[in-house]
Each structure stands twice: as structure tokens, then as C-alpha cells.
């Protein structure tokens, strides 16, 4: 079967699965102000531009402008162990469902950095396998699909290898990266990292000053 047909079938199946999972994710009310307070502990890593994870070394992901529903799903993945990162597991394990949604609602309030699109030539594999969900410009086409545009290339590479090699067990992504070589992954990561409008590092300093305001 040509891979485009296969991809279309996967997209249909994945969309159906996600639609079923939706009611658990959506909540009537979210409280971004509560999220801002909780995000205090997160900014030690996510609020510092180009901050690195160590052993192995790669950039801590940018969160500002990411889809709120995706952020919640990602945190649930760390909590359940579907994603294997130990520090993020311990953070997520201590959070309630509401905490996750409140933090996500706070982070999503920070807009994508604007810019022209698309930048450069998309690798053939992107058109074949990725744009159906992540868009030609790397902006996820539904709130459950992450935006990749402007994300650190080394983080995108790390995530793609984890989907391929089992560090992340998401079944949708595992299917799409199974046949990718390290060179494919590097090329795709570099392409999406260059796209605009772009994710940014959540603004630590501004957030901190705001938190210090009397009455807040």
C-alpha cells in the first residue's frame, strides 16, 4: 500500500480515537490565574531560553503558544509513564487533572511569534507523513496535535527518536516514525524548528514581576 494511503488511514483512525478520548480532556472551567501560580516550579527549566536537559543533553521544550489540550495530554503521558522522562514524571505525578488544565490555559495565553510561512523547502517525508496532522507550517491542525514550528531542533529530534525507539509509547506517532532513519529525523526536526509562526520560551521574567505585584 502506498504510504500516503496508509497515512490517510492512520489519520482517520487516530482522529476517531482522539475524538473518543476528548470528553475526559475537556473541562467546563479552567483557571489560568491558578495555572500561573502553579507554573512557578516549571519556569526553573521552561522559562530559561536554551536551557538544557542533561544526560543526555538536549534543549528543554518551548511551551509558550503550544495548544492547551496537547499540553494537558503531554502531562498525562508523563504521569502515566507513556513518556519515560523521570523529572517530568515526578512533576506530573503530583498534579491533578485540573492543575494540568490550568497550567495549560495559562501557557496558551502566550501567542505564537508571528512570521511568514513556510520557510525553506519541506523534506519529502514531511509532505508524505507529517503535514496531515502538523500542518505544512508546523502548526498542529487540531488542539490535540502539537505545534512544532519554532521548537528547538534538538528537542524535536529527541522526541522523534523516543517515538521510534520506545522512550515514548504514543501509538499514533510510533506508526509514523517507524520507518525513519536518523538522517530523516534530523532533516524533519531542522525543517520544523525553522517554521513560523513559532513557539517561544515562556516569559520567566515578566511572569515573575507580575507575580510580585501587590494584590496578585
Q: Distance (Å, rounded) from C-alpha 94 to C-alpha 99?
A: 9
Tell me how far, at minimum, the Cβ of 1 lies from ligand HEC, in Å.
Answer: 15
Tell me how far, at minimum, the Cβ of 215 lies from ligand HEC, in Å.
Answer: 24
Q: Tell me which of 30, 42, 105, 139 binds ligand HEC, using CB under 6 A.
A: 42
Closest C-alpha among 213, 214, 195 to residue 65: 195
Tell me how far, at minimum, the Cβ of 173 lies from ligand HEC, in Å.
Answer: 5
In the complex with ligand HEC, which residue's Cβ is closer, 56 or 215?
A: 56
Is residue 151 within 8 A of residue 193, CB to CB? The reply is: yes
Which burial class, exposed, middle or buried, applies to 38 when counting CB atoms under 10 A from its CB (0-12, 13-18, 19+)? middle
Is residue 25 within 8 A of residue 72, CB to CB? The reply is: yes
Q: Does position 202 bind ligand HEC by CB under 6 A?
A: no
In the complex with ligand HEC, which residue's Cβ is closer, 7 or 214?
A: 7
Instruction: Mark the segment that binds ligand HEC (CB under 6 A) among 25-33, 111-119, 142-150, 205-213.
Output: 142-150
Q: Distance (Å, rounded) from C-alpha 123 to C-alpha 89?
A: 33
Q: Distance (Å, rounded) from C-alpha 205 to C-alpha 49?
A: 11
Q: What is the contact surface with ligand HEC in residues (CB under 6 A)?
A: 7, 10-11, 14, 41-42, 44-46, 53, 60-61, 63, 71, 73-75, 77, 83, 85, 87-88, 91, 103, 125, 129-130, 132-134, 144-146, 148, 156, 158-160, 168, 170, 172-173, 176-177, 188
Amino acid at each position: 500500500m502506498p504510504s500516503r494511503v496508509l497515512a490517510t488511514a492512520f489519520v482517520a483512525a487516530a482522529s476517531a480515537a482522539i475524538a473518543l478520548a476528548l470528553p475526559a480532556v475537556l473541562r467546563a472551567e479552567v483557571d489560568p490565574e491558578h495555572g500561573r501560580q502553579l507554573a512557578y516550579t516549571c519556569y526553573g527549566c521552561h522559562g530559561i531560553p536554551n536551557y538544557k536537559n542533561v544526560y543526555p543533553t538536549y534543549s528543554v521544550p518551548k511551551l509558550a503558544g503550544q495548544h492547551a489540550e496537547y499540553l494537558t495530554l503531554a502531562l498525562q503521558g508523563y504521569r502515566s509513564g507513556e513518556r519515560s522522562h523521570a523529572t517530568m514524571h515526578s512533576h506530573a505525578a503530583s498534579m491533578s487533572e485540573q492543575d494540568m488544565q490550568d497550567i495549560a490555559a495559562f501557557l496558551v495565553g502566550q501567542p505564537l511569534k508571528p512570521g511568514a510561512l513556510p520557510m525553506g523547502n519541506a523534506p519529502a517525508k514531511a509532505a508524505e507523513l507529517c503535514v496531515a496532522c502538523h500542518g505544512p507550517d508546523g502548526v498542529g491542525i487540531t488542539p490535540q496535535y502539537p505545534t512544532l514550528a519554532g521548537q528547538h531542533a534538538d528537542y524535536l529530534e529527541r522526541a522523534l527518536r523516543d517515538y521510534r525507539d520506545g522512550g515514548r509509547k504514543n501509538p499514533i506517532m510510533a506508526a509514523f516514525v517507524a520507518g525513519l532513519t536518523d538522517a530523516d529525523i534530523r532533516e524533519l526536526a531542522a525543517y520544523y524548528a525553522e517554521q513560523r509562526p513559532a513557539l517561544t520560551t515562556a516569559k520567566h521574567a515578566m511572569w515573575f514581576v507580575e507575580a510580585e505585584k501587590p494584590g496578585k
